[in-house]
Structure 1
């Protein structure tokens, strides 16, 4: 699965967020480190979401890209 990310550069390093996953952020000293870290953050975010949905009826739908 692919997610769009937003990259924020500052003197302290690089922060990355995933607009489609509110609150999903990570950071790193380099862009490469930040990208690896956001992949981990996405996996953890989705695992937590799956836990919260235990016992709830869920379905998947396909959305065509604009």
Structure 2
């Protein structure tokens, strides 16, 4: 899976990163590398929670886009 992320340098230092296609999926870090590592973890948790919610409501089907 490939996702676009928005990486913003903060005036007080460090970086904030979010995933525009995953509302509320946001993280931060002191360096670019740490920020990317942290957003990867945030994405995994975000998608895991979303899939858990879907499992309770219906059937999951994979499609190719």
TM normalised by structure 1 equals 0.85
Report the number of matched residues: 63
Q: Which residue of 1 aligns with 2:39?
A: 38
RMSD over aligned CA atoms reads 1.1
User: Which segments of 5 or more consecutive residues in structure 2 lack a partner in the other structure?
Assistant: none
User: Which segments of 5 or more consecutive residues in structure 1 lack a partner in the other structure?
Assistant: none
Q: Which residue of 1 aligns with 2:21?
A: 20
TM normalised by structure 2 equals 0.86
